[in-house]
Amino acid sequence: MLSVENLSTTYQAPGAKPVLAASNINFSVPTGRLFTLLGPSGCGKTTTLRSIAGLERPSKGVIKAHDTVVYSSAGNIFVAPNHRQFGMVFQSYAIWPHMTVFQNAAFPLQVQKKRLSGKDIRDKVMKVLAAVSLDHVEEREATRLSGGQQQRLALARALVMEPRLLLLDEPLSNLDAKLRDKMRFELKKMQRELGLTTIYVTHDQSEALALSHEIAVMNEGKIVQIGSPRDIYERPANTFVADFIGTTNFVEGIVRGGTDDRLVVDTRIGQLNVNAQPGVSIGANVSLSIRPEDVHLSDTAPAPSSNSLFIGTVRAKVFLGECQDFKIDVNETQLLARAHPSVRTLVGEQIHIAIDPEKCTLLAA
């Protein structure tokens, strides 16, 4: 269990203007959960993570891990990073080039306060090396490992100390695409099995969606939304989140009317039905986010339903194997759509469009 309250971190280089890299960060992570900090480059994810690690000294706030306060500006408490017992995997892996694989993994046990016998250390290290399938290269020089192996060694080194918290800073970003998918899967499996409370930093939204129990999207040093992957994807709190989390169609409009649970919005592509939301009244300017995969296409007219129906003209289409991407003009507004390969309509022809009210996310304009 980790809780972060009102955390702010400022970088003050001598002679330079201070940089407020993380401001007023609040979140808490229940035991055993994987929590992701997601955001574009330079938004302060690493800063937040390093503040939790104790590698940066925050300017204010409280950080509690399992009910021990490791940082508190008011209480003037700052536990040194080497006393926090948090495992951390760095983006560069930081594998020590002057040690073997075994020595790298054994280091945390050799320097800890509680003295372990050589045999105990060996047993523990071999167990964790086996878990990341590196036990067969234990005597190898650590620099003679492949990228994926180095990444696993870094993980093993963080795990061997039985950390109270696992901190991961873009651990997959240095791997190629194939390996990244495989490691993502293994990382998830390991985290779930060990039940380790984990903070994960990434700028890759698909990684975040695939791994996390909960995601915090950051922008310019602030958290702009916290929620489950589904929440964030389906109900982005603002345009920044919707834009960042994936490609989407933004459609502006005015609320014309509706019932208790449905609203009718007048937009440039026509009338759209959307789920009602508290605080949005008739006459309000709104903005809707519709994912391309939620724009249903069909060659013939679909059966009538609660879906909003339109007809558009195909402007372009790209065949991607498992799906096709379409650009469609509807009343001179362009919509992006992702459809099943079975859709046959050619460029220039008319196509039928259906949009499920459930999938239209209403954003504050």
Burial (CB count within 10 angstroms: exposed 0-12, middle 13-18, buried 19+), residue 55: middle
Q: Evaluate the CA torsion angle 236, 197, 54, 175 in order and state its sign.
A: negative
Cβ proximity to Mg ion: between 46 and 212 the closer is 46
Say whether residue 11 binds ligand ATP (CB under 6 A): yes
Among positions 27, 96, 240, 250, the unique one binding another protein when judged by CB under 8 A: 96
Say whether residue 44 binds another protein (CB under 8 A): no
Say whether residue 36 binds ligand ATP (CB under 6 A): no
Say whether residue 44 binds ligand ATP (CB under 6 A): yes
Q: Contact, 272 vs 251, CB < 8 A?
A: yes
Among positions 98, 119, 178, 344, the unique one binding another protein when judged by CB under 8 A: 98
Say whether residue 47 binds ligand ATP (CB under 6 A): yes
User: Tokens 């006393």 — which residue?
Assistant: 83
Element (H, E) at 124: helix 118-131
Say whether residue 53 binds another protein (CB under 8 A): yes
Residue 42 binding target from ligand ATP, another protein, Mg ion, none, CB below 5 to 8 Å by type: ligand ATP
Whole-angstrom distance between the N-terminal and C-terminal Cα of the chain?
36
Cβ proximity to another protein: between 30 and 97 the closer is 97
Say whether residue 90 binds another protein (CB under 8 A): yes
Binding segment for another protein (CB under 8 A), chosen from 68-76, 77-85, 287-295, 321-329, is 77-85
Q: Evaluate the CA torsion angle 46, 48, 51, 56 in order and state its sign.
A: positive
Among positions 46, 197, 249, 361, the unique one binding ligand ATP when judged by CB under 6 A: 46
Please report, as a single letter, which amino acid is at residue 355. I
User: Tokens 């949005």 — which residue?
Assistant: 280
Say whether residue 296 binds ligand ATP (CB under 6 A): no
Residue 21 binding target from Mg ion, ligand ATP, another protein, none, CB below 5 to 8 Å by type: ligand ATP
Report the distance separating Cα 90 and Cα 113, nearest Å. 23
Say whether residue 86 binds another protein (CB under 8 A): yes
User: Tokens 């492949």 — which residue?
Assistant: 146
What are the two backbone dihedrals, phi and then psi, of residue 245, each rounded to the nearest 5 degrees? -70, -25
Structure tokens at 142: 């650590």
DSSP state at residue 345: P
Q: Kindly list the residues in this chain that would bind Mg ion in the complex (CB under 5 A).
A: 46
Nearest distance from C-beta of residue 228 to ligand ATP, angstroms: 22
- Cα pseudo-dihedral 221, 225, 226, 229, rounded to 10: -120
In the window 197-216, what residues touch ligand ATP (CB under 6 A)? Answer: 203
Q: Which residues contact ligand ATP by CB under 6 A?
A: 11, 13, 19, 21, 39, 41-47, 203
